[in-house]
Structure 1
Amino acid sequence: MPRHQTASPKRLRLTPNHTLRRLIQAWCTDNASHGIHRIPTPKPPLDKAQVLKLLKDFWNPKLQLNIIRKIEFLATESEGNRKYLVDAGVAKAVLLFIANRCYKEGLVDGLEEALSILHFVRISSEELSLLFMENDQIIDSLTWVFGCKLQNQITVSTHAVLVLKSMIQKAHSSVLETLNPDFFKKLVGVFRNGITQQGTNAALHIMLDACPWGRNRVKMVDAGAVYELIELEFEAPEKKTTELILGILFHLCSCADGRAQFLSHKGGIFVVSKKLLRVSPSADDRAILILSLICKYSGTNMVLQEMLEVGAVSRLCTLLQADCAPYLKDKARQILRSHFEEWKNCPCLGNSFHPR
């Protein structure tokens, strides 16, 4: 062969030497007493045909639990396996398993493994749209998980919330605007019942994604979301959690019942004003808008006095002197001007602040 030519890919392909591998393994076994570990026989790579065979057998009730455990092992084993599982439509099959077997029959065998699979293998937007048309209990079956009593309940609930977050982000608006009140009651309940930080943020993302629809805001308020969010913020969560909480509270305080629930919590005004200039520009934006809504629509003498007592007024004054966005200063100045008569004796206003 001329020097400028290269061997074809076929000639360069390596052929496994099974005899050599067996000889090495035999030598390892003979020398085990010297601390030599036997080299394992490599597994053949997974292919789509194998996955399709698993899915075909999956609907046999006698084989279902064994197969779902095998699929979970494959999902956790490698990224390559997960690609085959996605292409074969495993996510849809597992969601139907949760809805049709676990939820409808009240069975929890295989539930933990199923949610673990869905944590690794996500459903596509196209498959999800078809699934919602085929089965209207998919979301209900995932929120049902929060009330199950399992040994690893916190992990299971976290996986369920993460799956819900992924689905809600891909769902059509027609799904989001028809979420039922029980959905929000169970979602709010996960904050009380215990969940990981990752799960907390996922639940908050779901609520924030649902907020643009007015009916959803009412359902959240009815579920006690405002009170629970304030309680959650008192636990000094991470920056991202605070931004999500304040974002949701802003939406909920845009309705009268939401503001009433916010003010019924003795720490509402305090915890929101405390976050000004201490978290991020995004948190400042939401916090100042919440205080603006409270002052504009619910600014009774009692509320304005509470703002003075918990330090909200002094925080607004501090914001005027801070290095922050001009529009935030304008919003703070607007609040202070609107209630100058009630707060004019506050030392932080002094003689330098002019209401007009």
Structure 2
Amino acid sequence: MISSWRRRRAAHRAGKKLEGGLNLIIPANFRCPISLDLMKDPVTLSTGITYDRESIETWIESGNNTCPITKQVLTNLDPIPNQAIRKMIQDWCVQNRTRGVDRIPTPRTPLTSLEASEIVSKVMAVGEGCLETVEKIKDLVKESDRNRRRMVAQGGGIALSTAFEAFSETKASFRQNCAVMRELLSALTLMFPLDEKAKSHLCSSPSLNCIVWLLKNGDLLGKKNASLVLKEIVSTDEEKANALVETQGAIGALVNLIKESSCPTTTKASLMTIYYMVSSSISNQKVIARFVEVGIVPLLLEMLVDSDRSVCERALGVLDGICSYDEGREKAYGSALTVPVLVKKLLRVSDLATEFSVSILWKLSKSEKREDGGVIVEALQVGAFQKLLLMLQVGCGESTKEKVSELLKMLNLHRDRLGDCVDSGDFKDLKRPF
């Protein structure tokens, strides 16, 4: 049954339908035995069978070490380009160009494991030609994802991070090494995700100082790459987030990047880095106070007024962490935007944004010291009661549900003496669960 299906599939793919209603038969030896399509980059295995490079490399990268046709164990996993078949395919394409066949361009020879290893060794040497080597790595990695995977497999990320740490420890000033360090960070962004060894080199005190310096003094691209690398470093490790907190100038540099709003990618990366910093288990009032001091709360609230979904979620996440401490809540109390913006985001952006908004409102309401219930009263006036009630009907996470229930109880105490106010337009995009 399977062989019959394969024959029908092969017969279907062997004929290419043209505008004139004719079928162009693709020669059998021009088709990949795996995909049954015309080969764009024919390569031959050690068993002598020719496949299209993309198909056979997908097979090998899936953990197979045998030839799909002969089932023989491969003595060499690096396929060899079959120039003869490629030339024959290109000639056939040219002969049939009037029938709608495009000539297949000559593919570039991919990076071999040996070549990648040699390039990585040059970077590790941290010599005078390091800048040129890093630029070569960038060109090769951008050329194809195959080259990127091969470079990563040979330790490219570790080599680049080691070189960056070595340059950061030299006696030369940051300005003298600025060009090479900027290129190293640029190349590192092409190697994500980085392994723990690479992150450990970038998380050293000299490396973090250099990255923060580039955040402050680099060009737009340099700042973007530095922010992306910082996000990658702290994303999975609280200790690294705490190390960044202790780096002089890091907090001010990240907040200034958000204020500049020079690039959406930079803004999002900076927000995520700050989120990990304020969410760290060792974060304390002193750290939050430093963020509040540089003006992060009004900045976040202004961003929330008009921002896309991803920025909104990140900004709310940071604000939620800031409002876990007295200094952050006090600053939030003092802004006229706080409650209206948070209520406006309920059920409008995403489930995550709604959860963060509920959490912030809950923290502000629970810590409210005014007897007249300032936050609660303001939330009632802008329609929080109906939205929160609707959340219970629509459904939400258990933790969020508990906070919503508490908020509704607090709101209900003031509801009798205040008229409810809600904009029906807030619910126009709400999807019913049935």
Match of 1:289 among 351, 354, 359: 359
- What TM-score do the two structures reach when normalised by structure 2? 0.63
Match of 1:317 among 382, 385, 401: 385
- Give the match for residue 208 of structure 2: 139
Q: Quote how far apart the aligned CAs of 1:317 are.
A: 2.1
> 3-state SS of the aligned residue for 1:121?
coil
- Give the match for residue 49 of structure 2: 12
- Give the match for residue 193 of structure 1: 260
Asked if residue 256 in structure 1 is aligned to residue 326 in structure 2, the reply is yes
Output the CA distance in 1 between the equivalents of 2:206 and 2:110: 36
Output the CA distance in 2 between the equivalents of 1:255 and 1:122: 34
C-alpha RMSD of matched pairs (Å): 3.5
- How has the CA–CA distance of structure 1 residues 43 and 336 changed in structure 2, closer, same or farther, with 3 Å as cutoff? closer
Asked if residue 346 in structure 1 is aligned to residue 418 in structure 2, the reply is yes
- Give the match for residue 166 of structure 1: 232
Asked if residue 51 in structure 1 is aligned to residue 116 in structure 2, the reply is yes
Output the CA distance in 2 between the equivalents of 1:303 and 1:68: 60
Output the CA distance in 2 between the equivalents of 1:315 and 1:328: 17
Q: Quote how far apart the aligned CAs of 1:41 are.
A: 6.6
- Judge conservation of contact 2:164–2:184 (CA < 8 Å) in 1: yes
- How has the CA–CA distance of structure 1 residues 55 and 219 changed in structure 2, closer, same or farther, with 3 Å as cutoff? same
Task: Specify the code of the residue in structure 2 equivalent to 1:333.
Answer: L
Per-residue CA deviations over 1:315-345 (Å, capped at 9, x if unaligned) read 222225524335464133122145x2xx643
Which sections of structure 2, spanning at least 5 residues, go unmatched? Answer: 1-44, 51-80, 95-102, 396-400, 422-434
Task: Specify the code of the residue in structure 1 equivalent to 2:409.
Answer: Q
Moved more, 267-276 or 64-73: 267-276
- Judge conservation of contact 1:119–1:159 (CA < 8 Å) in 2: yes
Match of 2:291 among 192, 217, 220: 220
- Judge conservation of contact 1:273–1:312 (CA < 8 Å) in 2: no
Q: How does 1:1-356 map to 2 (within 5 A)?
A: 10-13=47-50, 15-17=82-84, 43-58=108-123, 59=125, 61-101=127-167, 104-106=173-175, 107-122=177-192, 124-128=194-198, 130-131=200-201, 135-150=204-219, 153=220, 155-171=221-237, 173-178=238-243, 179-180=245-246, 182-210=249-277, 211-213=279-281, 214-215=283-284, 216-234=287-305, 236-300=306-370, 304=374, 308=377, 312-322=380-390, 323-325=393-395, 327=402, 329-337=404-412, 340=414, 344-348=416-420
Output the CA distance in 2 between the equivalents of 1:312 and 1:19: 72
- Judge conservation of contact 2:157–2:198 (CA < 8 Å) in 1: no
Per-residue CA deviations over 1:46-73 (Å, capped at 9, x if unaligned) read 1232223223333354312211111110
- How has the CA–CA distance of structure 1 residues 303 and 105 changed in structure 2, closer, same or farther, with 3 Å as cutoff? same
Q: Quote how far apart the aligned CAs of 1:203 are.
A: 2.0
Q: Quote how far apart the aligned CAs of 1:207 are.
A: 2.2
Q: Quote how far apart the aligned CAs of 1:248 are.
A: 2.0
Which sections of structure 1, spanning at least 5 residues, go unmatched? Answer: 1-7, 29-37, 350-356
- Judge conservation of contact 2:377–2:411 (CA < 8 Å) in 1: no
Output the CA distance in 2 between the equivalents of 1:96 and 1:9: 36
Output the CA distance in 1 between the equivalents of 2:362 and 2:193: 41
> 3-state SS of the aligned residue for 1:278?
coil
- How has the CA–CA distance of structure 1 residues 109 and 300 changed in structure 2, closer, same or farther, with 3 Å as cutoff? same
- Judge conservation of contact 2:365–2:376 (CA < 8 Å) in 1: no
Higher relative CO (Cα under 8 Å, sequence separation at least 6) belongs to 1
- How has the CA–CA distance of structure 1 residues 241 and 259 changed in structure 2, closer, same or farther, with 3 Å as cutoff? same
Output the CA distance in 2 between the equivalents of 1:208 and 1:60: 34
Output the CA distance in 1 between the equivalents of 2:86 and 2:355: 69
Per-residue CA deviations over 1:183-210 (Å, capped at 9, x if unaligned) read 2221111101224323322222222223
- Judge conservation of contact 2:339–2:361 (CA < 8 Å) in 1: yes
Output the CA distance in 2 between the equivalents of 1:115 and 1:291: 39
- Judge conservation of contact 2:227–2:270 (CA < 8 Å) in 1: yes
Output the CA distance in 1 between the equivalents of 2:197 and 2:116: 17
Task: Specify the code of the residue in structure 2 equivalent to 1:137.
Answer: P
